[in-house]
Structure 1
Amino acid sequence: MRIAVTGASGFVGRHVLRAVAEHKDVEVVAVSRRPPGAWLPSGMRHVAFDLTAPPPDVFAALGQPDVLIHLAWSGLPNYLSRHHYETHLAEQYRFLKLLAAAGLPSLLCAGTCFEYGMRSGELHESLPPDPRNPYGFAKDALRRELEFLAADLGFKLSWARLFYMYGEGQAPGSLYSQFMAAGSTGAAEFPMSGGEQLRDFLHVTEVARRLVRLACEAPGAGIVNVCSGQPTSVRALVEGWLQIHRWPMKLALGHYAYPAYEPMAFWGSGAKLTRLLGPT
């Protein structure tokens, strides 16, 4: 099987490359704007271009993959920027349409839990989307466009809704990276919110493993939550990290206000993922 991965140098992309490299019967092409570096597994083929200006025969340039794991998206983690739907949505669709029209058989595209909007509780794939920020809106719009395109051109489409990830290589402003920076520099306190929010957290290595399995084992799965299926409070998550590292650092709870663009308690249903892949 031949797999191409866009956004390969990004947070999730790097871990997907490591996960797919463990499959010995798979040929991988890593795609990114930046040149290859230490993040690229040894011996893996790399193609550099910006999806807003792809080469004329992009499908051939990617080695005519059997499946594309599409992770590339610009401007994150600014979920509120209008560029997500004003410019980047059209750029994303044009790029993926080029590949589909050239014969791409299967596409797995990363979506977001923000497509569900401000709903609370357990979120199932059957719920109608109701995005309330520009990023979630653009992702949902791209999914709808691709569903029409797949019906016309016949490629298999899987839409992996990602929830809350953490791990090595995450953006400096993320909760995990801020915690690690504070602890490793001997900070006495770690400022954070009250921590009462319930979220669906999954380490990025496990997210990557599940994405690769979906791409290889369940083409055309439609919308799938890639999640733990378990509600965990932000405070409990951070306290767990603190226990692992045994840093003498206190949590300054309530230092930051809760974000207005997300509900206090929501998590994903992992039932469909389990049906597709078995116990994960």
Structure 2
Amino acid sequence: MKRVGNIIMFCMGLLLLSACQTISITEKHFLYPDDSITQDQVDSWGRQQQLEFIVIAAADGTELKGALITQVNARSTLIYFGGNQFRLESQGGELAKILSQFGNNLLIMDHRGYGMSQGSPTISALQTDAVDIYDYVKSDPNLGELPVIIHGLSLGSMIAGRLAHQRPIDGLVLEGSTTTAQGLIDAQVPWYAAPFIELSISEKLANVDNLANIENYTGQLLIMVGENDQTTPVSLSESLYKQATTASKQLVVVEGKGHGNAIKSEDFSAMYKAFVQSVILAKASEAL
């Protein structure tokens, strides 16, 4: 209901400003059905892919649950870490369809304490879990012998960035990413309010630093952000791009999109396909 209230207040604000517009509010503003993944759904995509729900034991014994989509003759493996609101059972269907279209295997896990996964989340625990998930993929020859791409959105970008610092990955996608916890807060507080606000950041949050994480990353890097992203503004992605030292980096500002929906743009598929191909070619050249 809070979300509905925000929509109504936003619409009222527009009406007051324009005084001459009619804004249509429909059922879709009130109904948010689950979007889970099923084998029938995967079959409908026509890609000859197999869906398996898996359990990965974290280092502390916590059961992490997710979905693995595989296909014969896959050329890469993509691991996705979602944002703070992400749950596989409610948001996984469309996401999986979009991110499994590049001749790749796809692994999507619920964060600990989210959705189907056990445990209680902390930033450090989520980052440790990411290492366990990566190691699970690398231990499976059908997954880990292929180029491995890590894609993180928002909260997931903090996890993905840290993982790239801890493990050798072939491709890194940071979508709607922050730089540091302080950088995120500074971006949210208007300049005119800053002199009147004093915020204390906990030590654990202060240690979140994607600028440092990517400083020594040498693989293929794609930084993606919606041009209208108000949660993690474009300026944060621009800072990450400038900080990255890898020779293979690109920054894509997606026109007309906000936070978390850049992959739903018309140009996404072609752009992402080119990135995946660059990762595959770079991995192949290393083997020569």
Which structure features the higher share of helix residues? 2
Same fold, TM exceeding 0.5? no
TM range (shorter): 0.3 to 0.5
Tell me the TM-score normalized by structure 2. Answer: 0.33
Q: Which has the higher contact order (CA 8 A, sep 6+)?
A: 1
